[in-house]
Amino acid sequence: MKSPLISYEHFPGDPFKNWIPDDETKGAFEVLKWSYETFGDSIIYACSFGAEGIVLIDLISKVKKDAEIVFLDTSLHFKETYELIDRIKEKYRDLNIRIKKPKLTLEEQEEKYGPELWRKDPNLCCFIRKVRPLEEVLYGIPAWISGLRREQSPSRAKTDFVNKDERFHSIKVCPLIYWTWEDVWNYIDTNKLPYNPLHDQDYPSIGCAPCTAPVKEGEDLRSGRWQGFNKTECGLHISGRILK
Ligand code: SF4
């Protein structure tokens, strides 16, 4: 494995810090080119196959057509999400799309913690089914790509293009920080990209089926996630531990 030019241990800060991109991808294309030049085959895109994910897959395929993409399959996603992944695999045949499952099956989780853990302790459920699997994927990997956008939530508003990721001891590259929700859909429409049909049924943000509800007009785009809980993130984008 080629040594990356920057690493978690020697993170010099975001090399794009003072750059105001004015190209049509708002810097995403340049940041992706830099990422694959810097980290080569050692960078992974952890994709949830939401609308931002589709944009990133298309942009990544233009920079590195055999890039590695990982989907964290909790076994609880909507059937529409699994169908979309099949369509994406068909369209981008050279991409290396990998499915990563948690160590515990749903049955084993139920045996250990009782039925529907997501209703009792969604943090623990996310930890077992998303955070731990991503830890396993990123073990020994210097950098990963995420589709975070600054306008998504206050906790994402200060995201840089290149971030020191304390949670996973890695570098997290976020090429879409300047994209608006409208930009995302303009790109999908202009390029006629496949997307999850649930987006047309008032599901702007799509995660696991038990924890995702449609949103009403004017509500926050992520307000359909973990309704009834004081929880807005699955833990992949939070520094430090999410478990007590
Ligand atoms: Fe469990 Fe819900 Fe988290 Fe999915 S989103 S891993 S079902 S708590």
CATH code of 180's domain: 3.40.50.620
Q: Is residue 23, in this structure, part of any structural domain at all?
A: no
pLDDT of residue 244: 30
Q: Are 209 and 225 in contact (CB under 8 A)?
A: no
- The pLDDT tens digits for 116-139 are 999 999 999 999 999 999 999 999
Model confidence, pTM:
0.91
Q: Looking at residue 241, what is its pLDDT?
A: 40
Domain span at residue 71 reads 28-103+137-197
Atom in ligand 1 nearest the alpha carbon of residue 118: 8
Q: From the CA of 75, how far away is ligand 1's center (Å)?
A: 10
- CB-side neighbour CA atoms (13 Å) of 176: 27
Q: Is 170 in the pocket of ligand 1 (CB under 6 A)?
A: no
| Residue 144 covered by a domain | yes
User: Integer distance in angstroms from the first to the last C-alpha of the chain?
Assistant: 36
Domain-located, residue 142: yes
Q: At a CB cut-off of 8 Å and minimum separation 6, what does 170 contact?
A: 8, 138, 141, 142, 143, 144
Domain membership of residue 206 (yes or no) is no
Show Cβ contacts of residue 210 under 8 Å, excluding neighbours closer than 6 positions. 76, 116, 118, 119
CA of 3 to the centre of ligand 1 (A): 35
Task: Return the pLDDT at 171.
Answer: 96
Distance 56 CA to ligand 1 centre (A): 23
> Which tens digits make up the pLDDT trace of 66-111?
999 999 999 999 999 999 999 999 999 999 999 999 999 999 999 9
Residue type, 231: K
Distance between CA 85 and CA 64 in Å, rounded? Answer: 19
Q: Which residues of the chain have pLDDT under 50?
A: 1-3, 240-244
**Helix 51-63 to helix 181-190 angle, to the nearest 10 degrees?**
60
Q: Is 208 a catalytic residue?
A: no
Give yes or no for a contact between 221 and 149, defined as CB atoms under 8 angstroms apart.
no
Is 111 within a domain? no
Which pLDDT value is given to residue 242?
40
Determine the pLDDT at residue 59: 98
Is residue 90, in this structure, part of any structural domain at all? yes
Residue 238 lies in a domain: no
Q: What is the number of the ligand 1 atom nearest to the C-alpha of 234?
A: 3
**242 within ligand 1 shell (Cβ under 6 A):** no
Q: Domain tally for the chain?
A: 1
Q: Is residue 65 part of a domain?
A: yes
Side-chain-side CA neighbours of residue 55 (13 Å):
27
